[in-house]
Amino acid sequence: MLAKRIIPCLDIKDGRTVKGVNFVDLRDAGDPVELAEIYSREGADELVFLDISATEQKRKTLADLVYRVAEKVNIPFTVGGGISSVEDVDVLLHNGADKVSINSSAVKNPQLINDLVAKFGSQCIVVAIDAKQIDGEWIVHLVGGKVPTERKLFEWAKEVEERGAGEILFTSMDNDGTKDGFANEALARLSTELNIPIIASGGAGNKQHFSDTFIDGKADAALAASVFHFKEIGIQELKQELQGNGIPVRI
């Protein structure tokens, strides 16, 4: 079995790391470059940077942030937010990003996934999907969770895979920031129905939640923000507990 990955997520707004609950009520969590360096040193497997204001404000993710992060870390990192073209991705990868994450732009223009995969390869194209349950159905949302669509989670995830994306980052908006655990039932279905890695996001509150999402949710990686930013969980202690539970991780 492949090692499970632990991925701190840094939501970026106006150049600072922020964290909210259910995608709102944001509070400052520190300088993203400093946090990235700390996580790299502490044993994170990867990092994800999401400029959560980029799409909403119709501006591009700042390439200089990517460059500064690349100078400080020696682990793979993914960048997302406001990416809508081959040119956008080209700039970010040239500045040091290992992967890019697309969300709203992929739903609006699914062909973008094919175009990016053709140009850069599946391995560096992650499609992020934010969804919440409405009348018992998982509905995909855009623009930082503000705009519901007619897309349904599992159908869209399957199309994303068919178009060549290398990974899916699934965030449950219902669980985000609640610290009540990941949406493991939905994650398990995604992992069962698809053949590409699924990153779990939304709901981490304690070390047991990570074990649960790897075992019950069948996730390939688990992403979290506040529990790492505010030092509620240490990455090494988390990995040691996972290892003790029989879950393969890189120590």
- Nearest alpha carbon to residue 210 among 38, 4, 19: 4
Q: Which residues contact 10 (CB under 8 A, 6 or more apart)?
A: 17, 29, 32, 35, 36, 47, 48, 49, 50, 225, 229
Burial of 160 (0-12, 13-18, 19+ CB in 10 A): buried
At residue 13, the pLDDT reads 83
At residue 145, the pLDDT reads 76
Question: Taking the model in full, what pTM does it have?
Answer: 0.92
The C-alpha atoms of residue 60 and residue 78 are separated, in whole angstroms, by 15
Token match 């992992």: residue? 191
pLDDT in tens, the chain (251 residues): 789 999 999 988 877 877 655 445 566 667 889 999 999 999 999 999 988 775 555 445 568 889 999 999 999 999 998 899 999 999 999 999 999 999 999 999 999 999 999 999 999 999 999 999 999 999 999 976 789 999 999 999 999 999 999 999 999 999 988 899 999 999 999 999 999 999 999 999 999 999 999 999 999 999 998 899 889 999 999 999 999 999 999 99
At residue 229, the pLDDT reads 84
DSSP annotation of 249? B
CA atoms in the 13 A half-sphere facing the CB of 149: 20
Give the catalytic positions in this structure. 11, 130
Domain 5-244 carries which CATH code?
A: 3.20.20.70
